[in-house]
Every structure is written in C-alpha cells, then in structure tokens.
Amino acid sequence: MLEMTNIHKRFGKSEVLKGINLRIEKGDVVVILGASGSGKTTLLRCLNFLEKADEGHARFGDIDVDLKTASKKQVHDIRQKVAFVFQNYNLFHHKTALENVTLGLIVGRKIPKEKAEEIGRKALDKVGLTEKYQVYPAQLSGGQQQRVGIARAVALNPEIILFDEPTSALDPELIGEVLDVMKKLAQEGTTMLVVTHEMSFAQDVANHVIFMDGGVIVEEGSPQDIFRNPQEERTKQFLRRVLPEITYCI
C-alpha cells in the first residue's frame, strides 16, 4: 500500500526528519505519537508533497517515486491516491459545506458537477452532516467544520487518508464527534495514517503505533506493545507524562 524509505527533511540547518522508514498495509490504522517538534506533521506533509523532502523514496501502490525529484505527473498521480485532513480545517469560508467537498472533485478530478454533488452528499451523510449541505463554515461548530474536512477527504475515495492532528484545534467537548467519525472509517477498513495526541484513539483504534522523537522513529509496535510494554526509555518518559495513570506498567 505505502512504503517510505530513508526520508530526510531539513529547514535551514535544522534536520527535522532523519531517515524515516515505514510500511503501511491496506486497512491499517497507523498512529504517530510524539512531542511537538518531533517531525510528525512534516512527515505527513512530505508524503503529500505539501513539503518537498530532501531525500527519500515512497511507493504508493504501483507508483515508486523519489520524493525530492518527483515530476508534476507523479505528484498528481500520488495525490489521486492520498487525501489529507488538516489540523485547522482549511475550508473555503465563502463556499457551503457541499461546495467545499465537491470542489476537488470538479476542479481536480474533472467530475461533472451533478455527479460530484451526489458523491459529496454521500460523504457528508457519512460524517453525520446530512442537514448541513448548504451551510457555510461560519455557521458550523469547529467539530462540524472538521467533519466537513473529513468528508472532503472521503469523497476523493483515496487509498489512504493522512490526518494531521485533526482534533487539536477543537474545544474538548467537540473532540468526541470527530473521533467517532474516524473510528467509523477505521471500522469500514479505511487505511489511515494519523498524527494525534488522542491516546484513547491510539489505544482503541490503531493497529500500529509509532513514537517519534527528534526526527526519528524511536519505537513502533502494536498498541499493546507501546502502551503496556515499551522498550525505549524515551518512549517511557513520554508515556509517563501523557498517561501518568499507566506508569505502573512501565
């Protein structure tokens, strides 16, 4: 499905990614954990060419690409397979929920408007926004706006969805509605790579958990491995800070 090899990224003299290797299979829900500045978001942005990696390869199905020298066609072909859910929604405020979902279909994929709207309505239905087709972002809660963002990704029918801290901009009472949608997608077999600070989601929904620090993957394994039997001291330190109730296990 998706295989990354030796991904490096620098910003000036700062090396943010220091040789990342990762393989994701169809149907996997992979969660990346780590403190701010560990390289998690940069990795996702390199995979979708929102940032250009300085070194590394990625294989998306039958497409094998050098992330530094990828052609416009390769970038286009990969973006047909990958959807991105942003931390801060990235909705067009002058467009309705339905228009936000269908824009990429009509402009990016040249799907006729009538067909795109049919796909868009189904995607909004899936995230629980059946009554919000014609509503503008300013009239929606943060949780609803993020669900529009997820619907936009789902409508593209991608092979994998990348989630960049999808609940971090939300008030605490709105986080649950977004996580519920993500859990539903996972149960339906959607392949997902998720950067998040939501430990309950990582424990309950992911089948593979990665802990990053300082631009490298420090440790990875099943949720049981990472949360109940971590091997690396840096992983243990992180978990003691974010989940003090399980310190007796580590």
> Is residue 198 included in any domain, yes or no?
yes
pLDDT in tens, 90-128: 999 999 999 999 999 999 899 999 999 999 999 999 999
Quote the pLDDT of residue 250.
Answer: 47
* CA-CA-CA-CA torsion sign (138, 140, 144, 148): negative
Quick check: is 144 in a domain? no
- What's CA 5's distance to the chain center, in Å? 19
Q: Which residue has the tokens 């990795």?
A: 43
pLDDT band for position 243 (50/70/90)? confident
Condensed to tens digits (0 to 9), the pLDDT of residues 170-219 reads 998 899 999 999 999 999 999 999 999 999 999 999 999 999 999 999 99
Rounded Cα gap, residues 127 and 146, in angstroms: 10
- Whether 151 maps to a domain, the answer reads no
- Is 194 inside any structural domain? yes
CA distance 179 to 218: 26
- Cβ count within 10 A of residue 227: 20
The answer to whether residue 18 is domain-embedded is: yes
pLDDT over threshold 70, residue 220:
yes
* Secondary structure, 3-state, the chain: CEEEEEEEEEECCEEEEEEEEEEECCCCEEEEECCCCCCHHHHHHHHCCCCCCCEEEEEECCEEEECCCCCHHHHHHHHCCEEEECCCCCCCCCCCHHHHHHHHHHHHCCCCHHHHHHHHHHHHHHCCCHHHCCCCHHHCCHHHHHHHHHHHHHHCCCCEEEEECCCCCCCHHHHHHHHHHHHHHHHCCCCEEEECCCHHHHHHCCCEEEEEECCEEEEEECHHHHHHCCCCHHHHHHHHHHCHHHHHHC
Q: Are the CB atoms for 31 and 196 separated by under 8 Å?
A: yes
Indicate the burial class of 193 (C-beta count within 10 angstroms; 0-12, 13-18, 19 or more).
buried
Identify the pLDDT of residue 1: 80
Per-residue pLDDT band for 248 (boundaries 50, 70, 90) equals very low
| Mean pLDDT calculated for residue range 219-227 | 96
Tally the domains of the chain: 1
pLDDT at 62 over 90: no
Q: What is the mean pLDDT of residues 15-44?
A: 96
Confidence (pLDDT) at 61 = 85
244 falls in which pLDDT band (50, 70, 90)?
confident
Is 169 within a domain? yes
Query: Residue 155 pLDDT > 60, yes or no?
Result: yes
Exposure b/e, 199-209, CB count within 10 A at least 16 = b: bebbbebbebb
Mean pLDDT computed over every residue of the chain? 94
Using the predicted structure, report yes or no on whether residue 246 has a pLDDT greater than 80: no
pLDDT at position 245 is 66
225 within some domain: yes
Domain of residue 178: give its range. Answer: 2-87+159-242
The reply to whether 150 falls in a domain is: no
Tell me the CATH number at 168: 3.40.50.300
Is 52:225 a contact under the CB 8 Å cutoff? no
pLDDT tens-place string over residues 122-139: 999 999 999 999 999 999
